[in-house]
Amino acid sequence: MPVSRRYRPEPRFPDLGSEFCDPVAPAAFPQTTLRYRNDRAAAEVGLEGLTDAEWIAHFGRFEPLPGQAAPVAMRYHGHQFRSYNADLGDGRGFLAAQLRSGDGRLLDLGTKGSGTTPWSRGGDGRLTLKGGVREILAATLLETLGVPTSRAFSLIETGEALQRGDEPSPTRSAVLVRLSHSHVRFGTFQRAAWHERPDLIATLVEHVRGLYHPGVAAGDVPGLLRAVVEASARLSARWIAAGFVHGVLNTDNLNVTGESFDYGPWRFLPHYEPGFTAAYFDQFGLYAFARQPEAVFWNLTQLAGCLKLVAEAEPLTEALNGFGPAYIRELRTAFLMRLGVHSAGEAADQTLLDTTLAFLRESGAALRWEPLFFDWFGGFASSARALAGPRAGLYRGETFEAFRAALFDHESDRPERLEHPVFAAADPEELLIDEVEAVWAAIAARDDWDPFAAKLARLEASRGAYALSR
């Protein structure tokens, strides 16, 4: 049986019409070799029963799933490194399907590398296999660390040799499918505003409000902006707590649900370094690690500017001004989550945040970022484990003692999680650049997918151990 009773198709974006999207056809690939399928995610949307052959037909050849509309390339504009680009849109991907998950939320199946569209701008519309592998790794670890993220759903190698100027070529090709709660971008609004179409803005507002923020009343444009601001603040805070650098925080890479997606030059921090950048072309550090909240807020101001076509400026400004307080609140919450402890009140939580960052700053490369959260997960309950582990010699001194005192002021959250075998290991799962390159090197040199599969298995085990909410 190809789909289960949990499969609930609901294609809604194509109903918006030609001002928002264009019908497209997928590329005819010379081969379709299944490299990855996310069966856990598939089960959430009733597609786990697909055979591999059926899976390839739907996510490599893009035969329509039952009840779905034809694929569409979404139209949008965007600021790229704060320079406006009116020549954007889905240039190597499309919206393949929309469907409801078990919790009733609407989900998109969107592609990357599925061929050219009217918005390809002379590109080949393809994705490198390495890019697909990197996106799977990034999304998997982000989910493990509690970041609201799209999930890699499928990766199929397509048998084409691609030429790329920034990596060894020819290189292998693939088509990726991601599962996300929305691909409506800030840039989707920007396109309507650029064309001076308040009617399109109003249509888009109602579409987004009704489908993704139903708690906002009809016609409440500032209320919708407030909801997007709060979701974006949460996302920004979760990136920081995960030590993640997205790399390309343009307005076309932020969406209305506050969910991270489209992973290109991403990096995880090797150690605490506020100015750390992910993209080699980010020469001025615009999207550096510690500047990500600033970048998100700047992008939100561009969204608010679009909404001024249909709402008064003052309440929109008021909604924007909520970002700072929301971000600080969400950052405290994110660090509590990463350290596996309950809140002890705003003042104590802020002290824990401050002392954690101070200790990470002082320890630098000797400690790295991720091991601190692994060693001290659960607070006092992990004392013996942390002080007997490989980094025990680093856990001393005035700054550490301030961190430990602040941590021990907080009660452990679900300490039974520490019984998971993951916490018997000496080191946490990380995705520093050397490991990412090693995983790819095995595939590129020997077509050896075992290190990739093993890494995903370990990340899945860590996800179960931490049991963090996204």
Q: What is the dihedral angle through the alpha carbons of 3, 6, 12, 14, rounded to the nearest 10 degrees? A: -10
Task: List Cα–Cα distances, 162 to 126, 127, 128, 274, 448, in angstroms.
Answer: 8, 8, 7, 35, 20
Please state whether beta strands 72-74 and 267-268 pair in parallel, antiparallel, or not at all (unpaired): unpaired
Phi and psi torsions of 162, nearest 5°? -100, 145
Alpha helices for 60-110 (secondary structure H): none
Answer yes or no: are the C-beta atoms of 255 and 245 closer than 8 Å: no
252 is known as an active-site residue: yes
- Angstrom distance (rounded) from CA 341 to CA 401: 17
- Other CB atoms within a 10 A radius of the CB of residue 301 amount to 13
Read off the amino acid at residue 454: A
- Residue 397 φ/ψ region, left for φ over 0, alpha for ψ in the -120 to 50 degree band, beta for the rest: left
The distance of Cα 110 from the centroid of its chain, to the nearest Å, equals: 14
Catalytically annotated residue among 15, 22, 220, 252 = 252
Catalytic residue annotation: 252
